[in-house]
Structure 1
Amino acid sequence: MENVQKSAMDAFEKLEKVGEGTYGKVYRARDKATGKIVALKKTRLHEDDEGVPPTTLREVSLLRMLSRDPHVVRLIDVKQGLSKEGKTVLYLVFEYMDTDLKKFIRSFRQTGEFLPPQVVKSLMFQLCKGVAFCHGHGVLHRDLKPHNLLMDPKTLQLKIADLGLARAFTVPIKKYTHEILTLWYRAPEVLMGATHYSTGVDMWSVACIFAELVTKQALFPGDSELQQLLHIFRLLGTPNEELWPGVSKLPNWHEYPQWNPKKVSSMVPNLDENGLDLLTKMLAYEPAKRISAKKAMEHPYFDGLEKDLL
């Protein structure tokens, strides 16, 4: 096995560590054969696994399939190796992209300018298109946030990354642990302990990203699960059985402070009427009532966009 480890790592020159994903370290690296810059994601497998478990192989082939879409980061190659302790490690080789949406928004915060409405529209359309592709193939992302949306600042092309957490959801949807998502983009049903959830969790995250593109500020910046819910309730009203049938049956349901719903425009004042309509449809409390990514792409907000070029 020694030579596999060597060849996996000899093929690349590590340039620097660019991040720490949930499942391992990410490096910027150069492919020695082609000179191309790639992102190398090193993932360790569970301690008790002998070799590569079939679930991981399924995930990898799923990632490969999804990365055919122009709005999903391309998985170029997978190499298997051994760690110093003799454990199996996988190296996922992805295309490298220079920046992400978090950095892009921050650059506008620093200059004091807002993102041009056409840029917001184009990025949102690409995001909906990428999400629609994943959902169409039975995959939830479950951790969409600006940091996971890579982009090319010159062409403004956006690609979804970190699909490593995606599990194909089959019907009936399996139980998930709900400890993975970043709080700010986390859907209320997840915060309330729902264990069966679906595409609506991603659409909630898309809504939060939409608002942030427009205002340059997080829509619901909670620092604990409770605070996160209260941020949501202050804008959308405290949910009840009328607003959201079944809400009081969720595991983490409590008696919460009562707020009346406010207009979404109070938090996102510089968004046009069509944009506000789309954002509101994405922020429906009842997960099944949230607009789907595919439907969102047909919303009048995107009229006038050269969709074929995106």
Structure 2
Amino acid sequence: MLNQTKECLNQNANKLDKFIKLKKAGEGTYGVVYKAKDKITGKFVALKKMKFDKQVDETEGVPSTTIREICLLKNLHHSNVVEMLDVIFPEPKTIYLVFEYLDMELKHYLDTVNSKLDKDLIKSYCKQLMEGLAYLHSHRILHRDLKPQNILIDREGHIKLADFGLSRCFTVPVRAYTHEVVTLWYRAPELLLGSNLYGPGIDVWSVACIIAEMINKRALFPGNSEIDQIYRIFKLCGTPNETTWSGCTNLPDYRKGFPQWLPEDMSKFINFDDDDQKEFFSKVLECNPNKRWTARESLGCKYLKSSKLTAPKSECFKPIS
């Protein structure tokens, strides 16, 4: 697959000429994203210009992490996963990934809306996120960096998983991976305790934290360090032990001196819309990854069965241009 992807990268720069760059839509360690327009179809796209480390081997040209991301994205086709439309390799150490365009990041929407999000919108987003996650996991892909900044929405009510820079394929049985993944506020307990044997449950935990943030309009566990993050989680979910989570005391960063908290009523931390939503959270915001619902299991719960596509507040979106 890597050889096929490298061949795919050998495309001439003329492909860029079919797009008109309209504005810079975002920037980060990965590179720059531009909103652009296809001259032929008139459709908007997102052009992601990848930055390459100066130390990249000249003979290789493309970092292995970038090739891995492209390999994954080439084979993903789901309504709740952002679609990569093309790859353009105009010159050494420069790649443009062409994606379908969505209006904004979920993070920006949460920061823009002054009022509480509509409960039907939250439910719709919740179901779509779990459907996207179930699709990824069925194809044995872990996202490993889910947060509001890496989720895109449009004005019709669709929501999509994006930014697969830290993603990777996983195998069954699970083998060891680095535990230094996922932004701190959305990092699952098993990662915080140093486990390098983890699976799809880390993404489910992240999505649960994101949905709680949609409900509360603030982060559920805004830790300022790993130990602070662990304590915030334990204060809500209870300090795990061998009874509640077999094997947890053997994890590298588990400490016998952890304060012993009992599980709290989640309603003290999350402003639930109804009992069905609360029941859903009790299954996905579960410290023990072996008891935590999978994305597929969550889709069968009562809370999500009545979900329907709901549009966000239109005033938060700029006119199309």
Instruction: Give the TM bin, normalised by the shorter chain.
Output: 0.7 to 0.9
Pick aligned residue for 2:103 from 87, 93, 98: 98
- TM-score if structure 2 supplies the norm length? 0.85
Give 1:178's aligned residue.
179
User: What residue is the counterpart of 1:18 in the other structure?
Assistant: 25
Match for residue 70 of structure 1 among 67, 76, 79 = 79
Per-residue CA shift, 1:48-85, capped at 9, x if unaligned?
2514477754542431221x201011111011132xxx
What residue is the counterpart of 1:248 in the other structure? 249
The share of aligned pairs that are identical, in percent, is: 47
Residue 296 in 1 paired to residue 298 in 2?
A: yes
Q: Any idea what SS the aligned residue of 1:25 has?
A: strand
Structure 1: runs of 5+ lacking an equivalent: none
Paired with 2:254 and 2:96, the residues of 1 have a C-alpha distance of 41
1:92-241 aligned within 5 A: 92-108=97-113, 110=114, 113-153=115-155, 155-241=156-242
User: Within 2, Cα distance between the matches of 1:15 and 1:224?
Assistant: 39
* SS of corresponding position for 2:75: helix
Preserved CA contact (<8 Å) 2:102 2:153: yes
Secondary structure of the structure 2 residue equivalent to 1:165: coil
Structure 2 residues not aligned, in runs of 5+:
1-9, 310-321
Match of 1:29 in 2: 36
Cα distance, 1:104–1:55 mapped onto 2, change above 3 Å: closer
Q: Report the Cα distance in structure 1 between the residues aligned to 2:159 and 2:258, rounded to whole angstroms.
A: 38
The aligned length equals 296
1:305 is aligned, of 290, 299, 307, to 307
Q: Distance in 2 between matches of 1:302 and 1:17?
A: 36
Query: Greater relative contact order: 1 or 2 (C-alpha under 8 angstroms, separation 6 or more)?
Result: 2
The residue that corresponds to 1:279 in the other structure is 281
Give the structure 1 partner of residue 317 of structure 2: none
Judge conservation of contact 2:66–2:165 (CA < 8 Å) in 1: no
1:225-269: CA deviation from partner (whole Å, max 9, x where unpaired): 111111101111111222211111111122212222101111113
CA-CA distance at 1:176 after TM superposition: 2.6
The TM-score normalised by the length of structure 1 is 0.87
**Cα RMSD (Å):** 2.2
Letter in 2 for 1:38: V
